[in-house]
């Protein structure tokens, strides 16, 4: 009953869009049921808030409006709670944005997509960190936008002076006005586990202010609240005086600190025009994110139970991070030339392999890991240009697997590392 559709010419957008790396990794995992995935960026099923979600749904008001269409921008009380939360996280005296500057989206993924859609035309440039969250490359290439790596220092921080040089070079090439957006993952980043230092944020503000004040800084804070001991001291870009007057959009997510299954995120911006235009396009795409999901999030805040949940998640993931790191160390991975820092938040670890190792999907090490039934994310896919990217890095996730399986996965990984030494 299917037809070949050979005579259907798909759009340029369709032809630019390739299968996501996530999908192909999942296919690999499914092909071997015994495989342990240290690649998947899921959270841990055992700490999903089933009880709280049931309670929230039990408490849907009797007129059941949470089951009706909501507004395109999102529930006002939820957006007010988020504005208040951002103020609290930044220790700001007054709110950095108000509810009118916040748009609820289908995960922070849709925030990223809408921001790219309203800000960029085909051929425009978006700055990304190196490494960065690899799905952003699909978003950008799907929309015909060029991802350009920012110059980074050895600690994984963007280098403000080299950024200044890059901007000047682009100006010389007549391309500076094509730069529309800069994408930063500023807390316990995916994949590097790095948080952007306050001093770096301030310097970046000065550089953009001086040379390219129209570039919208998109600050992805998906992991910000998942710190292990204390909150990272850096304020968000939105709150820093060096960024005053510059356009900023902060994105956030309910996936990491609550439940990925409600598929809810948001962005907060100081540019009303970005809200307005994003809402025009969001109305075309879905006319508002699921009102039920928003009610659940609103209830979690209003009941105070969101904070209790997150406090538990911090301890839980801190323990799992330690389990994975300890087992890798115990398995002798450092002795085979691997290096990593213990994460202080988030769900991810970034490992640098020994000199000359290739961790790509086509290499011996990857084959060795798949043979031993353990999966990781090859580091090179986290760079704008995989060809020129460092070849020896790996992203491991401690989010999904229980501690026992994390340890077993680590042992398999160490065994593969030894075999490829």
What is the spatial distance between Cα 57 and Cα 55, in angstroms, rounded to a whole number?
A: 5
State which residue, 246 or 351, has the beta carbon closest to its own copies.
Answer: 246
Binding of its own copies at residue 7 (CB under 8 A)?
yes
Residues within window 401-420 making contact with its own copies, judged by CB under 8 A = none
Residues within window 280-309 making contact with its own copies, judged by CB under 8 A = 280-281, 283-293, 295-296
- Binder of its own copies out of 27, 32, 50, 308 (CB under 8 A): 50
What's the min distance (Å) between Cβ of 337 and its own copies?
Answer: 34
Binding of its own copies at residue 60 (CB under 8 A)?
yes
State which residue, 290 or 419, has the beta carbon closest to its own copies.
Answer: 290
Task: Considering only CA atoms, give the Rg of the chain.
Answer: 22
Strand partners, 105: 265
Q: Which stretch binds its own copies (CB under 8 A): 114-122, 298-306, 351-359, 407-415?
A: 114-122
- The site for its own copies, by CB under 8 A, has a size of 101
- Binder of its own copies out of 19, 173, 355, 387 (CB under 8 A): 19
- Binder of its own copies out of 39, 104, 113, 313 (CB under 8 A): 113
State which residue, 41 or 353, has the beta carbon closest to its own copies.
Answer: 41
What is the spatial distance between Cα 80 and Cα 77, in angstroms, rounded to a whole number?
A: 5
Beta strand 374-375 with 36-37 is parallel
Residues within window 72-101 making contact with its own copies, judged by CB under 8 A = 72, 94-97, 101
Binding of its own copies at residue 57 (CB under 8 A)?
yes
- Binder of its own copies out of 70, 160, 192, 193 (CB under 8 A): 70
Residues within window 304-363 making contact with its own copies, judged by CB under 8 A = none
Q: Which stretch binds its own copies (CB under 8 A): 46-54, 189-197, 226-234, 389-397?
A: 46-54
Binding characters for its own copies, 198-227, by CB under 8 A (x = yes): ---------------xx-x-----------
Binding of its own copies at residue 175 (CB under 8 A)?
no
Binding of its own copies at residue 251 (CB under 8 A)?
no
């Amino acid at each position: 009953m299917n037809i070949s559709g050979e005579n259907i010419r798909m759009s340029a957008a369709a032809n630019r869009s390739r299968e996501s790396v996530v999908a192909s990794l999942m296919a690999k995992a499914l092909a071997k049921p015994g495989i342990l995935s240290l690649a998947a960026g899921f959270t841990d099923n055992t700490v999903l808030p089933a009880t709280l979600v049931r309670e929230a749904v039990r408490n849907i008001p009797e007129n059941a409006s949470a089951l009706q269409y909501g507004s395109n921008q999102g529930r006002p009380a939820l957006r007010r709670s988020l504005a208040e939360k951002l103020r609290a996280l930044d220790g700001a005296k007054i709110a950095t944005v108000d509810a009118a500057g916040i748009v609820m989206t289908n995960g922070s993924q849709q925030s990223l997509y809408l921001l790219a859609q309203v800000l960029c035309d085909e051929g425009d440039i978006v700055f990304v960190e190196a490494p960065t969250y690899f799905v952003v490359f699909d978003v950008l290439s799907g929309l015909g936008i060029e991802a350009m790596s920012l110059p980074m220092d050895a600690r994984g921080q963007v280098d403000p002076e080299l950024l200044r040089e890059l901007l000047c070079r682009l100006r010389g090439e007549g391309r500076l006005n094509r730069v529309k957006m800069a994408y930063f993952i500023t807390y316990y980043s995916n994949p590097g586990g790095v948080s952007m230092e306050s001093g770096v944020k301030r310097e970046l503000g000065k550089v953009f202010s001086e040379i390219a004040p129209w570039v919208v800084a998109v600050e992805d804070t998906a992991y910000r609240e998942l710190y292990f001991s204390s909150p990272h001291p850096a304020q968000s870009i939105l709150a820093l005086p060096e960024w005053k007057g510059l356009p900023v959009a902060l994105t956030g997510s309910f996936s990491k600190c609550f439940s990925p299954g409600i598929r809810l995120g948001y962005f907060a911006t100081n540019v009303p025009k970005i809200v307005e235009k994003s809402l025009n396009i969001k109305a075309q795409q879905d006319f508002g994110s699921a009102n039920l999901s928003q009610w659940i999030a609103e209830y979690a805040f209003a009941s105070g139970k969101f904070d209790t949940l997150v406090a538990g998640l911090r301890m839980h993931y801190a323990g799992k991070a330690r389990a994975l790191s300890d087992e890798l160390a115990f398995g002798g991975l450092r002795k085979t030339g691997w290096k990593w820092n213990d994460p202080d938040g988030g769900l991810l670890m970034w490992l640098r392999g020994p000199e000359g190792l290739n961790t790509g999907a086509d290499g011996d090490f990857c084959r060795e890991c798949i043979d031993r039934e353990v999966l990781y994310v090859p580091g090179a896919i986290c760079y704008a240009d995989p060809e020129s990217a460092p070849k020896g890095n790996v992203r491991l996730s401690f989010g999904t697997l229980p501690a026992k399986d994390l340890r077993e996965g680590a042992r398999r990984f160490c065994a593969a590392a030894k075999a490829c030494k």
